[in-house]
Structure 1
Amino acid sequence: MNLVVVAGSGNPSLADSIAERLGTRVCRSVLNRFPDTELHAEMEESVRGCDVYVVQPTGPPVDRHLMELLFLADACRRAGASRLTAVVPYFGYARQDRRANGREAVGARIAADLLVVAGFERIVALDLHTVSLEGFFSVPLEHLSAVSLFANAIEELVTDKSVIVAPDLGAVKLAERYGELLSLPIAIVHKIRLSGEEVRVRGIVGEVGGRAPIIVDDMISTGGTVEAAAAAMIAAGCIPEIMVVASHALLVGPAIRRLSALPLKRIVVTDSLPTPEHGSLTLQVVSLAPMLAETVTRLNVGESMTELLSHR
C-alpha cells in the first residue's frame, strides 16, 4: 500500500526527517485559523487508497496540537485514505490517567477516545508517562522506547562512579532498564508532589554518596522533580556532576531557571518535541527519526515490532 506522511505544526522538522529516511516527502496540507479562531484543515494532495501516517506530538500548546491531529485525521479519512496511523512522539494528557481527588476529568482517556473517533486505526507513541495508558485505547497502541538510543548516546560518558537514579517511584522500572543496559547500580528518590510545579523529597533508597548521578525520566516539564532529586543527592554527598536523561523536553515555566542553578553536566533528550530555548544548559538531542521511520516501514509492510517496543 502506498505510504504517505502527513505533518501537523507540532514538530514539522521531525516529520520531514522521517519522510526523508523513507525516501519520500511530507504530503502537502493546509492548517489555518478563521478570524474567530476556528481551525481549518485540508489536504492539498491526494491520499486516496494510501496508508497515511500523521506525525504530530501533542506538546504545548497541547489543545491546539491535539485538535490539529484530529482534523488532519478527518481530512485524510474523508479524502479516501485506506488506513490512518497517528504518530504521536509525545502524548499530551498522559499524566491525567486517574482521578486523584475524585472530581476531576481523566484527560488521558478523553484524548485517547478522540483519536479513535477521528478515525485513527493505530497509535504510535514514545515513552508514555505510564504503561497503563495502553488500556485507554480501543485500537492498537505501539508503545516505543528510547532507552536503547539513550544508552548508546551516553555510554561513553559513563564511569565506574556513575549511578542511575529514578527521581520518583514511577521511574523505577525505567531506571532498572538503564541499569541493565549500562551495568550500573540504581538509586530511587522518594518524592511527594505538592503541586504541578513543586515536589518534596522524603528520602533516597540506594547509595549516591561519592557517585555521579544519571537521573532518568520520561519527561522534564517544570524541572521541579529534577531540582528536588538533585538537591537531595547533593545533600547525600554525590559527585556534583549530574546528568539528566529524559525522552521529552517540555522545559516549561521555571524549568530553565531551575535547571541552570543545578550542577548539571548534561541534559540528554529526544526530538519528540521541537528543541526548546535552553539558555546556557548543555542539551544533547538524540533524533527519533531513524526509529520512527523504521516503525512506519514495518507497520506499512506488516513486520514484527518486538525489538522497538517498550517493555517497562
Structure 2
Amino acid sequence: MHAPETTGRDGHGSHKAAGDRKRGSRLREDKRFRIFSGSANPELAAKICEHIGVPLGETRIQRFADGEMHFQLLENVRGADVFLVQPTSNPVDRHLVELLIMIDALKRASAGRITVVVPYYGYARQDRKDRPRVAISSKLVADLVTTAGANRALLMDLHAAQIQGFFNIPVDHLFASPVMVSYFRELQLPNLTVVSPDAGGVERARFFATKMGAPLAIVDKRRTDINVTEVMHVIGDVRGQTCLIIDDIVDTAGTLVKTVDALLAQGAVAVYACASHAVLSGPAVERIANSRLKELVVSDSIPLSENAQAQNKIKVRSIAGLLGAAIESIHMETSVSTLFS
C-alpha cells in the first residue's frame, strides 16, 4: 500500500474549538456528534469544524498499488450522528467511490445516522435524457449513495433542482447566494444588471437580482455538444450597465467568456461573474485570464488548483459557515430554511 492519508487532529492540523461560542461548545461536548472528511476537500471540512467548534474526526486512507482504496475510521462512531464532507469533484469517479466506501465503513461501524455533505455534486449535469441512449447519471449516483447507507444528504447549488427528487432519503439543498450577495453588496457596483447565462439558470439569477435590487437579463444560448455552446443573443437592455453573470458551474469557461463578449457587444461597460462551483477544467483558467471579464467570484466547494489560485481575476468566498450552520441545524433538529435568506 502507499503511505496513508490521515485526516483529523493529526492529519490536517489542530482545529481549535471555539469555546466562546455556546452552540459550538455544546456540540463539542456531544459525544454522539462527529464530522469526517474524505480527501476531496479536507480544507473545507476543517473550516466547517472550526466554525462549529468541534474537532475533525480521524480517519486513515490508503491505496494499493493499482489505486484501490482502503479506508479506516480511527474513532468510535457507534450510535453517533455523523456528517461526512466529500464533494465529488475532479477526479470525479475516484472521489465518488471514496464517498461510497466511507459511507459503507460508517454503516458497518454502527453509526446512528449518516449525512453526506456534498458541496459539489458530480454528474448533476446528466439529469435527463436529452438524446437517445444516454444514462441519467445523476439519478444513478443518488441511488448509489442511498444504497451505500446514507440516511440524509446536504447538497449545495445543484445544477437542476429536481435532482433532490432522485434521492429516496431526505435532502437539504442549500445555495451559495447569501454568501455571494454579501460580497457584491460590499462592491457597490454602479448601474448593476444581473445576467443569467441560459434559460435554465433564470430562477437562480432572479433570486440574486431581487436581493441586489437590480434588473435581470438573460443570454439565449444553444449547446451544440458536451462543453461546447454557442451564445445566440441577449434578452434585455444592458447598454451602459455593469453586468453580473450568475451561474452554478464554471467548467471550461467557454460559455462564460462567450457570454462576456456578447454582453460587451451589446453595450455593457463591465462584466463580473459569480459561480458556486469552480470546476475550471482544461483551458478554463487561461481563458479567464485572457478574457475581458473583470472578476470571477467562486465558492470553496471545490479546492482551486495552484494555477487558479495564482490568477488574480478569481476570488474565493468560503461557504464553510453556511454549511456549518446547516449541519448544526440538522443535528439539533431545527429549521434549515432560515439559511436560504
Question: What is the TM-score with the length of structure 2 in the denominator?
Answer: 0.88
- Aligned-partner SS, 2:225: coil
Q: What's 2:76 paired with?
A: 46
Q: CA-atom RMSD, angstroms?
A: 1.3
Higher relative contact order by CA 8 Å / sep ≥ 6: 1 or 2? 1
Amino acid at match of 2:287: R
Q: Secondary structure, in 3 states, of the residue corresponding to 1:204?
A: strand
Which of 261, 282, 290 is residue 290 of structure 2 equivalent to?
A: 261
SS in structure 2 of the partner of residue 171 of structure 1: helix
Give 1:64's match in structure 2, choosing from 94, 108, 111: 94
Q: 1:122 corresponds to which letter in structure 2?
A: R
Distance 1:77 1:280 in 2: 42
Question: Which consecutive unaligned segments of at least 5 residues does structure 1 have?
Answer: none
Q: How much does 1:309 deviate? A: 4.3
* 1:33 counterpart residue number: 63
Matches within 5 A, 1:121-136: 121-136=151-166
Determine if contact 2:275/2:297 at 8 Å carries over to the other structure.
yes
Residue-pair matches, total: 309
Given that residues 142 and 309 in structure 1 are in contact (C-alpha distance below 8 angstroms), is that contact kept between their aligned partners in structure 2? no
Instruction: In structure 2, give the amino acid aligned to 1:291.
Output: L
Contact 1:112 1:136 in 2 (8 A): yes
Superposed, 1:147-296 pairs within 5 Å as: 147-239=177-269, 241-276=270-305, 277-278=307-308, 279-296=310-327
Q: Deviations over 1:152-206 (max 9, x none)?
A: 1111223342110101111111111111000001110000012223211111110
Conserved in 2, the CA contact under 8 Å of 1:89 and 1:126? yes
Report if the CA contact (8 A) 2:288-2:313 is conserved: no
Q: CA deviation at 1:148?
A: 1.4
- How far apart in 1 are the matches of 2:232 and 2:99? 40
Contact kept in structure 1, 2:87 and 2:121, CA below 8 Å = yes
Q: CA separation in 2, counterparts of 1:175 and 1:49? A: 42
Name the aligned partner's letter for residue 264 of structure 1: L
1:281: Cα distance to partner?
3.7
Deviations 1:77-99 (A, max 9, x none): 11111000000000000000011
Give the counterpart of 1:73 among 91, 103, 122: 103
The AA in structure 1 aligned to 2:109 is A
| Alignment match of 1:55 (pick from 85, 88, 93) | 85
SS at match of 1:156: helix
Checking the alignment, whether the CA contact within 8 Å between 2:289 and 2:313 is kept in structure 1 is no
Query: Quick one: percent identity of the two aligned structures?
Result: 39
For 1:37-66, what per-residue CA distance to the aligned partner results, in whole angstroms no more than 9, with x for missing partners?
A: 221111111111110000000000000111
Check whether the contact 2:192–2:242 (CA below 8 A) recurs between aligned residues: yes
Equivalent in the alignment of 1:113: 143
Q: Given that residues 267 and 281 in structure 1 are in contact (C-alpha distance below 8 angstroms), is that contact kept between their aligned partners in structure 2?
A: no
1:292 Cα shift? 0.9
1:86 equivalent in structure 2: 116
Residues 251 and 280 of structure 2 are in contact (CA less than 8 Å); yes or no, is this contact kept in structure 1? yes
Alpha-carbon separation, structure 1, partners of 2:320 and 2:249: 18
Q: CA deviation at 1:110?
A: 0.7
- Which range moved further: 194-203 or 56-65? 194-203
**AA in 1 matched with 2:294:** K
Q: Alignment partner of 1:264: what SS?
A: coil
Q: Does 1:139 align with 2:169?
A: yes
Query: TM-score, normalised to structure 1's length?
Result: 0.96
Are 2:261 and 2:292, in contact at CA under 8 Å, matched by a contact in 1?
Answer: no
